[in-house]
Amino acid sequence: MSDTPQITDSHCHLDFPDFEGQLDQIVASAADAGVTRMVTICTRLRNEPTVRAIAEAHAPVFYAAGTHPMSAADEPMATVDELVALSQHPKFVGIGESGLDYHYTADSAAVQKQSLRIHIEAAQRTGLPLIIHARAADDDMARILAEEHRNAPYSCVMHCFSSSAELAKAALDLGFYLSMSGIAAFPKSQELRDIFAAAPVERILVETDAPYLAPPPYRGKRNEPAYTAHTARKGAEVFGMDYAGFAAQTQANFDRLFTKAATYKAAA
């Protein structure tokens, strides 16, 4: 499969029960599709040891950890020191996912904002990229990201971006990245594809958010890292590029943002 363009699934959840007992096969299928790296995301810090073990057991897998905004009210509040300590692991490459989600959990908005600022400070202190989940909270999200960026710069990816053109512009203006998930490949997502098309292709990543949001032709089924290739092919169309060129561009973008993953060397 050496002729298959290489891409990276920048956001998946390999510790979820959907993949139990199947990770060797999942990683092998990803490689066959050209997905040679993946970042698995820990969404509750108490699960960090499990997520770390997956990254340690599978060469192509890196990981990040944080408290998902929808869990912020139910989990112990993370501390900056805790996140900084976790970041010392050689395969820990990002902070989060954190963010704001007012769609289902607007009642915990205050706690979510507190958690978000803690994760931002951890990104500022470690130099690792912040991984943001944003849903139905565009104004607060844009304001907090900009406020904290003025305090101290940091890098960031808007994971599974499906918000407004205004939030996309706010993020891009701060030098952040937008990640394209299977949602961008859904037939009714033309408005979202137009938002991506207006962005610099140098700031685009691809992801699955597996096991969720499988792109066509797997929509409605369990998603997995191999399917990043389907979203990336749609991305190539959006930017008017051939697949190999778009794949290479997203690889360069990932390496620029996730520098720790890009420079990782396995211990001999």
User: How is the chain split into domains, by residue range?
Assistant: 7-262
Residue type, 52: R
The two structure tokens encoding residue 234: 């749609």
Average pLDDT over residues 178-198: 98
155/133 Cα distance (integer angstroms): 14
* Average pLDDT score over the chain: 97
Please check the confidence at residue 141 and state whether its pLDDT lies above 70: yes
150/8 Cα distance (integer angstroms): 30
pTM for this model (two decimals): 0.97
Closest CA to 45 of 5, 77, 17: 77
Structure confidence by residue, pLDDT tens digits, 63-74: 999 999 999 999
Given this model, what pLDDT does residue 1 score?
Answer: 44
Mention the CATH class of domain 7-262. Answer: alpha beta
Given this model, what pLDDT does residue 267 score?
Answer: 67
Closest CA to 6 of 220, 243, 259: 243
Please check the confidence at residue 176 and state whether its pLDDT lies above 80: yes
The two structure tokens encoding residue 268: 């001999």
Structure confidence by residue, pLDDT tens digits, 35-63: 999 999 999 999 999 999 999 999 999 99
263/187 Cα distance (integer angstroms): 37
Structure confidence by residue, pLDDT tens digits, 84-120: 999 999 999 999 999 999 999 999 999 999 999 999 9
Average pLDDT over residues 219-237: 98
Residue 266's pLDDT band (boundaries 50, 70, 90)?
Answer: confident
Average pLDDT over residues 19-47: 98
Average pLDDT over residues 217-230: 97
Please check the confidence at residue 26 and state whether its pLDDT lies above 50: yes
